[in-house]
Structure 1
Amino acid sequence: MAIDHFVLSLCLILLFGRLLGEIFNRLNLPSVVGEILAGIIIGPTLFNWVSPHETLAVMAEFGVILLLFSIGCETSVKRLYQAGKSAFGVAILGIVLPAFTLGILAAVLLKQPLFTAIYFGSALTATSIGISVRVLAQANQSQTHEGNIILGAAVIDDIAGVILLSILFNFSASGELGLVATTLLIIKVVGFLLLSPPIARGLLYLFRALRPKGNQTGYEAIITIILISLFAWLAHALDAPALLGGFAVGLALSRQFISPLSRYLKNPFPFTHQMEKASKPLVDVFAPIFFVYVGISLDLSLIDFSGNGILILLLLAVVAIATKLAAGLAVTGAWGPKAVVGSAMVPRGEVGLVFAEMGLQMEVISPKLFSELVLIIALTTLAGPMLLKWALSIQNRGTKPHS
């Protein structure tokens, strides 16, 4: 991408993303929906001022890595562990229900062959962790019990999505399932999640000791980006989502970080707090780029808008939303938390788009089916934050004390 096209695209992404996000925020709606809509407006669907490009895609991915870093900074490992059982149940339901139901519908309604139908259903299993987490953070709900369940379930969801994509990719290429390769992949991804936060924590002590004396502005921000970039690269090298690298570094910075060595080492909170504070402007700039780029990636002009085609797509979208909402049933307790968790699992976003793009490249799905899949992803991505906002408002009204 030429520099003049790049700077103009970046200008439009930040301008329209901020403008639409602020408008939606003032209307008491999730700003992330406004940012996605901004991408649809300036992208190929409407004005075509900005087109999908590898350079912008990399910036968008870095934005979601930074967003997960900021969430990790506020996350308690202990509470995340306590939510593990519920999170696992939510994730399993949220994978099995859409994969099975939408796979069958793709075979019956869209007349797709078996493997293509399985791929179609699998592409709609993974939740977009960034979208729901952003809505929760704006509502100050990211560190509630439900927030921890959502975060844990979405992380499991992402890992399962990567493993599922790898299995389908290998099967498409070789015609057989590689059990050894799949097992190795699972071990690598789980090992990364367990080992990377304490390793990153150890590096924090090293960088704190190497901190220059005097008022060296920018040191904390540089170290933060170094660690995020390093662990995002490590995650990708181990075939895990790169965003998990940002999350791992955020966990290491968290004041609530716990490990067997914590009793022997002084908490480096003043240093980690400065790192978190110095990186906030970067998160504020890059995170919206991801959400706007999701909208830019959705070229809805490729969709067949005939009467029958619209009905089928709407049915598939409703089922895609309903099967993720049903995942909230794995949460014990009242209907309020079930609705909040289920709503947060609805958006597919970037993970679904990766599935769709890979399927198109492997020629597992046709360009027409690709467009239909992208539209369903778009509808879930737009509907998810709206449903989550509604569920949170209902729950808040239910928990307010009566006067």
Structure 2
Amino acid sequence: MAIDNFVLSLCLILLFGRVLGEAFKRLQLPAVVGEILAGILIGPSLLGWIAPHETLSVMAELGVILLLFSIGCETSIKHLYQAGNSAIGVALLGIALPAGVIGLVCLFYLELPGFTALYLGCALTATSIGVSVRVMAQAKRSQSREGHIILGAAVIDDIAGVILLSLLFNFANSGDISLLSSGLLILKIGAFLFLAPPLARLLLYLFRAVRPREKETGYEAIVTMILICLFAWLAHALHAPALLGGFVVGLALSRQFVSPLNRYLQNPFSFTHEMEVESKPLVDIFAPIFFVYVGISLDLSQIDLGWTGIFTLLMLSLLAIATKALAGLNVPGSLRSKAIVGSAMVPRGEVGLVFAEMGLQMEIISPKLFTELVVIIAITTLAGPLLLKWALARDGK
């Protein structure tokens, strides 16, 4: 891509993504939907100002790595333990129902190939942490029992989604998925998730020790990017998605980071806080590029606007919403608590979009299925906060 086309494309992506994202936020709707619509508007589907390109795709991938980093910064391992068995039960049901029901519908009703049907089912298993947690925080319920269960289940969903994505990625490349290779892959990802955050934490102490005494503007942001790029490369070297590297660095920066090292080393709260604050503009710039690029990658002409096509799209969207909402049945207590947790599990958000994009790149799903999958993810991302607000309002009454 020539430099003039690149800078103009980047200008339009940032401008339209910001404008439509802010417009949706003012309407109390998820900004991610507005950013996807911005990509549809300036992409080949409507105005045709920007076409998909490898350079923009790489920037979009960097954006999602930074997005998972910001999610990691908000994640607390303690909350996972506090939620206990309820979070695990909600997460497992929220994975099994969409993968099983949607996979079977795609296999028998849509008559898709077995692996494609499985991939579509797995693509709709992950829950967007950011969307639901933001709604809970606005309602001042993030520290409630339901809030802990939602966060814990969403974390498990995201980790399980990453593992599923890695397994499917390896199967698509090799055409085989033996128990031994699958076990080794899960072991490597588990070891990476377990060992990488403490290792990143140790590197934080090293960078803090060599920090210049003068107030060096940008030092914390540079250190953050060094760690994110290093662990993203390491995750890719272990045959895991690179975005997992951003997530573990975010965990290392979290103020609620838990490690035996805390007994011997003073928590670097001031330094990690500065790193998080300094890197926030990077996340704000690059993360929307991913969502806008997803919209640019869409080809709405692929959607079947006949009665059969519209019925199929609506049916899959309703199944995607219902199978996640039913996961709230595992929550002990009143029906209102079940409704709150179930509604919060509905938005698919960023991890589902990663599934869609990688499935398209690996040619597991066609451009038509990619477009339909992203539309379904957008519908769930829009419906989830609306259902959650309704459930919280009912709970308040």
What TM-score comes out, normalization by structure 1 length? 0.87
After TM superposition, list the pairs within 5 Å mapping 1:2-401 onto structure 2.
2-129=2-129, 132=132, 145-168=145-168, 176-356=176-356, 359=359, 364-365=364-365, 367=366, 370-392=367-389, 394-395=391-392, 398-399=395-396
| 2:356–2:373 contact (8 Å) kept in structure 1 | no
Report Cα offsets for 1:143-202 as digits up to 9, x if no partner: 655454444434433443344345445556666531111001101111111111111111
Report Cα offsets for 1:43-97 as digits up to 9, x if no partner: 2222122222222222223223223323333333212332353332222212211
| 1:37–1:295 contact (8 Å) kept in structure 2 | yes
| Contiguous gaps of at least 5 residues in structure 2 | none
| 2:302–2:371 contact (8 Å) kept in structure 1 | no
Aligned counterparts of 2:359 and 2:265: Cα–Cα separation in 1: 48
Aligned counterparts of 1:174 and 1:286: Cα–Cα separation in 2: 32
- Tell me the amino acid that sits aligned with residue 118 of structure 1: L
Aligned counterparts of 1:295 and 1:55: Cα–Cα separation in 2: 16
Greater Cα offset, 144-153 or 303-312: 144-153
Number of equivalences: 397
Give the CA deviation at 1:360.
5.3
| 2:344–2:388 contact (8 Å) kept in structure 1 | no
RMSD of aligned C-alpha atoms?
Answer: 2.8
- Tell me the amino acid that sits aligned with residue 177 of structure 1: I
| 2:167–2:185 contact (8 Å) kept in structure 1 | no
- Tell me the amino acid that sits aligned with residue 240 of structure 1: A
Aligned counterparts of 1:6 and 1:137: Cα–Cα separation in 2: 38
Relative distance call for 1:117 and 1:23 in structure 2 (3 A) is closer
Aligned counterparts of 1:336 and 1:52: Cα–Cα separation in 2: 44
- Tell me the amino acid that sits aligned with residue 231 of structure 2: F
Relative distance call for 1:184 and 1:385 in structure 2 (3 A) is same
Secondary structure (helix, strand or coil) at the match of 2:295 reads helix
| 1:346–1:380 contact (8 Å) kept in structure 2 | no
| 1:343–1:384 contact (8 Å) kept in structure 2 | no
Report Cα offsets for 1:309-364 as digits up to 9, x if no partner: 22122212211221122222223333444334333433445544554555556655
Relative distance call for 1:43 and 1:269 in structure 2 (3 A) is same
What TM-score comes out, normalization by structure 2 length? 0.88
Give the CA deviation at 1:134.
6.0
| 2:347–2:383 contact (8 Å) kept in structure 1 | no
- Tell me the amino acid that sits aligned with residue 311 of structure 1: F
Secondary structure (helix, strand or coil) at the match of 2:263 reads coil
Aligned counterparts of 1:148 and 1:62: Cα–Cα separation in 2: 29
Q: Percent identity?
A: 68
